[in-house]
C-alpha cells in the first residue's frame, strides 16, 4: 500500500507559487512530481529551507535520545566525509581503519577479556546493532540445538516489556517468539527472577537494557547473569545475555565505574550502543560488539580485502556514509576518557537537578531522578484533578518544547508520565528556561475545571516508550 501524506492543503492545490523575491522570475513548482525543467540552485534551496523552518527546534526536543549538537570541527569532518561509502573498505581504507580503532576502543572500554579478539562493526544506529546481536544469538542457538539432535524451529527471546521497539521488530523479522516480562508495582524494567522464569530450552538469549527508554533506569545486568548462571547449574540450560546499551553503554563506563554490566560478566555475549546518542555523534551511527570470535557465528561474517589483508564485516545495511564513523573517532580522540566523563557528568547533573526542581513545584512527582542515564520520568500527583500529563505536554509544546507524555505498558497502564532526555547541548541555562516555561504554564493548567487531553490525543513521539505486544506465556 502506498504511503500517503497525512495532511492535504486546505485549497486542494498541490502546486507551489514561488515568491519572486526568492527567484529570478515567478515560478510554479509541483510538489508531488518532478518539475519539467531545472530550477535555479538558490530557488530550490530557499523553497526547501522555508519548508524546513516549520519543523520543531531540535535543541528543544526533550523526547529524542539522539544528539542534536556537535562541535563545528566534527560537523566539518562529516561534510568532508559525506561522499565516502562505509562499505567500500578497500576504496576508503583509512575510514575503515578509523572504524576498527573505534571497535577496539569500545572493546577496552567494555572490558572485553582480550580486546584484540573482540569483534564488532559500525551500523546505522543501535537498532541495527541490536538486531545483529539478536541474529547472532539465534544462529548460535540453532547450531547448538542441531548439534544436540534437537529441533531448532521454535526460538524465543526474553526481555522486559520496556525494551525499545527495535526488539519487537527483530522478533517479527527474524521469526523469534518475544517473551515480555511485564512491569509489576514499582518494578518498571526486567528483573532477574522474572527473566529466568520465562527461559527454556528454546531461549536464544535474554536482553538486558542499560538505560530504559521509559524511565532512564539501568536493568540489573549482573543479577540477571547470576540468575542465569544458577539456571545452568540446576538445569544445564546455557542462556547468554545481550546488553542493549543504546544509551547506558556510553554513560556507565564514565560515571559508574563500579557497576558490573559488560564483558566482565562471562555470560554477556554481545553489546550494542548508539554512537548518535551518548556517543555524541549526529544521527547515523551505532556499534555492535561481541566478546570474541566464538560469540559471532562465522557463517554470518563476510570477508573483504582491506589494506592488503582480510577484514570481517557483518551488517544488515550496505552503502552508507562514513561521515558518522569519522565523527565518532573524532569524539573519541577529541574528548578522551576524561572529556567523555565531564560531558556525561554535566548531563547527569542537569538531569538530577531538573528532576529535583520539578518535584518541588507541587503538582509533580518524579518517578526517577536521572541518576542512571541522564533521563527521568515524572507524573502528575494523584490529587491533582485539573490537568493530566498530556495537558502539560501540550502546554510545553506551545513554548517550543517537545516533552513526550505516555502511559506505561500492561500491568501499569494506570501510570501516565512525562519524560525528559538530557543530552549534550542541553545545559543548566536551557534547563532554567524550561523550568520557567513550565512554571508559567501551571496557573493556566490549574485553572482548568477538568483535564482537556488524554492518552488518545497524544502525538506519539515517545521514542522507544511505545506499547509492545501482550507478554507471552511460557511455553509448556
Q: What is the pLDDT along the chain (476 residues), one digit of tens a residue?
A: 455 555 554 556 677 666 555 545 546 788 899 988 888 888 888 889 989 999 989 999 999 999 999 999 999 999 999 999 988 887 888 999 999 999 999 999 999 999 988 899 999 999 999 999 999 999 999 999 999 999 999 999 999 999 999 999 999 999 999 999 999 988 999 999 999 999 999 999 999 999 999 999 999 999 999 999 999 999 999 999 999 999 999 999 999 999 999 999 999 999 999 999 999 999 999 999 999 999 999 888 877 665 555 666 778 888 889 999 999 999 999 999 999 999 999 999 999 999 999 999 999 999 999 999 999 999 999 999 999 999 999 999 999 999 999 999 988 989 999 999 999 999 999 999 999 999 999 999 999 989 988 777 555 555 566 666 544 433 32
Q: For residue 433, which of 62, 66, 64, 71 has the smallest C-alpha distance?
A: 62
The span from the CA of 133 to the CA of 141, in Å, is 12
Q: In the numeric block, which cell numbers belong to residue 316?
A: 544488515
pLDDT at 3: 54
How many CB atoms lie under 10 A from the CB of residue 298? Answer: 10
The span from the CA of 262 to the CA of 231, in Å, is 20
pLDDT at 397: 95
pLDDT at 201: 97
Which are the contacts of 110, defined by CB distance < 8 A and separation ≥ 6? Answer: 249, 253, 262, 263, 271, 289
* Start-end of CATH 3.40.640.10 domains in the chain: 76-333
Which are the contacts of 355, defined by CB distance < 8 A and separation ≥ 6? Answer: 366, 368, 369, 370, 376, 378, 420
Lateral strand order in the sheet of 375-380: 364-366, 375-380, 416-421, 405-407
The span from the CA of 165 to the CA of 148, in Å, is 33
Architecture of domain 338-447: Alpha-Beta Complex (3.90)
Q: Angle of helix 165-173 relative to helix 126-147, nearest 10 degrees? A: 40
How many CB atoms lie under 10 A from the CB of residue 284? Answer: 21
Contact indicator for 207, 158 with CB cutoff of 8 Å: yes
Contact indicator for 272, 287 with CB cutoff of 8 Å: yes
Contact indicator for 77, 330 with CB cutoff of 8 Å: yes
pLDDT at 472: 40
E strands present in 171-211 = 177-181, 203-209
pLDDT at 468: 65
* Whole-Å CA distances, 193 to 159, 226, 243, 268: 12, 10, 17, 17
Give, as one character, the DSSP assignment of residue 293. Answer: G
Which are the contacts of 400, defined by CB distance < 8 A and separation ≥ 6? Answer: 56, 57, 60
pLDDT at 90: 78
Q: In the numeric block, which cell numbers belong to residue 50?
A: 522555508
Instruction: Give the burial string for 249-272 (b: 16+ CB within 10 Å, else e).
Output: bbbbbbbbeebebbbebebbbbbb
Q: Angle of helix 93-109 relative to helix 323-359, nearest 10 degrees? A: 40
Where does 76-333 sit in CATH, by number? Answer: 3.40.640.10
* Start-end of CATH 3.90.1150.160 domains in the chain: 338-447
Q: In the numeric block, which cell numbers belong to residue 345?
A: 557528568
Instruction: Give the burial string for 96-128 (b: 16+ CB within 10 Å, else e).
Output: bebbeebbebbbebbbbeebeebbbbbbbbbbb
Q: For residue 369, which of 389, 390, 353, 347 has the smallest C-alpha distance?
A: 353
The span from the CA of 212 to the CA of 160, in Å, is 10
Rg over alpha carbons for the chain, rounded to the nearest Å, is: 24
Cell numbers 549534550 label which residue?
424
pLDDT at 463: 57
Collapsing DSSP states into helix, strand and coil, what is residue 346?
helix
Relative to beta strand 375-380, strand 405-407 is unpaired
Q: For residue 337, which of 424, 245, 427, 253 has the smallest C-alpha distance?
A: 253
Instruction: Give the burial string for 363-397 (b: 16+ CB within 10 Å, else e).
Output: bbebbbbbbbbbbbbbbbeeebebbbbbbbbbbbe
Cell numbers 572529556 label which residue?
339
Amino acid at each position: 500500500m502506498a504511503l500517503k501524506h497525512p495532511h492535504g492543503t486546505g485549497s486542494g492545490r498541490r502546486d507551489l507559487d514561488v515568491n519572486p523575491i526568492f527567484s529570478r522570475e515567478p515560478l510554479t513548482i509541483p510538489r508531488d512530481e518532478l518539475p519539467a525543467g531545472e530550477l535555479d540552485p538558490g530557488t530550490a534551496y530557499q523553497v526547501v529551507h522555508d519548508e524546513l523552518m516549520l519543523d520543531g527546534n531540535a535543541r528543544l526536543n526533550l523526547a529524542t535520545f539522539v544528539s542534536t549538537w556537535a562541535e563545528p570541527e566534527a560537523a566539518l569532518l562529516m561534510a568532508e566525509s559525506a561522499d565516502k561509502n562505509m562499505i567500500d573498505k578497500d576504496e576508503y581504507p583509512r575510514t575503515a581503519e578509523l572504524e576498527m580503532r573505534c571497535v577496539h576502543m569500545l572493546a577496552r572500554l567494555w572490558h572485553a577479556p582480550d580486546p584484540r579478539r573482540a569483534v564488532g562493526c559500525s551500523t546505522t544506529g543501535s537498532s541495527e546493532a541490536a538486531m545483529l546481536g539478536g541474529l547472532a544469538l539465534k544462529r548460535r542457538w540453532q547450531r547448538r540445538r542441531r548439534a544436540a539432535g534437537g529441533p531448532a524451529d521454535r526460538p524465543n527471546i526474553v526481555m522486559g516489556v520496556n525494551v525499545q521497539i527495535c526488539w519487537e521488530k527483530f522478533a517479527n523479522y527474524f521469526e523469534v517468539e518475544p517473551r515480555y516480562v511485564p512491569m509489576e508495582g514499582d518494578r518498571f524494567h526486567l528483573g532477574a527472577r522474572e527473566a529466568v522464569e520465562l527461559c527454556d530450552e528454546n531461549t536464544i538469549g535474554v536482553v538486558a537494557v542499560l538505560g530504559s527508554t521509559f524511565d532512564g533506569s539501568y536493568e540489573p545486568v549482573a543479577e540477571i547473569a547470576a540468575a542465569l548462571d544458577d539456571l545452568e547449574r540446576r538445569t544445564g540450560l546455557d542462556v547468554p545475555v545481550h546488553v542493549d546499551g543504546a544509551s547506558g553503554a556510553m554513560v556507565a563506563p564514565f560515571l559508574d565505574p563500579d557497576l558490573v554490566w559488560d564483558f566482565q560478566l562471562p555470560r554477556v555475549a554481545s553489546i550494542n550502543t548508539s554512537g548518535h546518542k551518548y556517543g555524541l555523534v549526529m544521527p547515523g551511527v551505532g556499534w555492535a560488539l561481541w566478546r570474541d570470535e566464538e560469540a559471532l557465528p562465522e557463517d554470518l561474517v563476510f570477508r573483504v580485502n582491506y589494506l592488503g589483508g582480510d577484514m570481517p564485516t557483518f551488517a544488515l545495511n550496505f552503502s552508507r556514509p562514513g561521515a558518522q564513523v569519522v565523527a565518532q573517532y573524532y569524539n573519541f580522540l577529541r574528548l578522551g576518557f576524561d572529556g567523555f566523563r565531564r560531558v556525561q557528568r554535566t548531563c547527569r547533573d542537569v538531569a538530577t537537578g531538573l528532576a529535583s526542581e520539578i518535584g518541588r513545584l507541587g503538582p509533580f512527582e518524579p518517578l526517577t531522578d536521572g541518576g542512571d542515564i541522564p533521563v527521568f520520568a515524572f507524573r502528575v500527583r494523584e490529587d491533582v484533578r485539573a490537568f493530566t500529563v498530556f495537558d502539560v505536554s501540550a502546554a510545553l509544546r506551545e513554548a517550543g518544547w517537545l516533552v513526550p507524555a505516555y502511559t506505561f505498558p500492561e500491568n501499569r497502564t494506570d501510570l501516565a508520565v512525562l519524560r525528559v532526555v538530557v543530552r549534550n547541548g542541553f545545559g543548566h541555562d536551557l534547563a532554567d528556561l524550561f523550568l520557567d516555561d513550565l512554571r508559567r504554564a501551571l496557573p493556566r493548567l490549574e485553572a482548568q475545571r477538568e483535564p482537556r487531553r488524554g492518552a488518545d490525543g497524544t502525538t506519539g513521539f515517545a521514542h522507544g516508550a511505545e506499547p509492545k505486544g501482550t507478554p507471552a506465556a511460557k511455553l509448556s
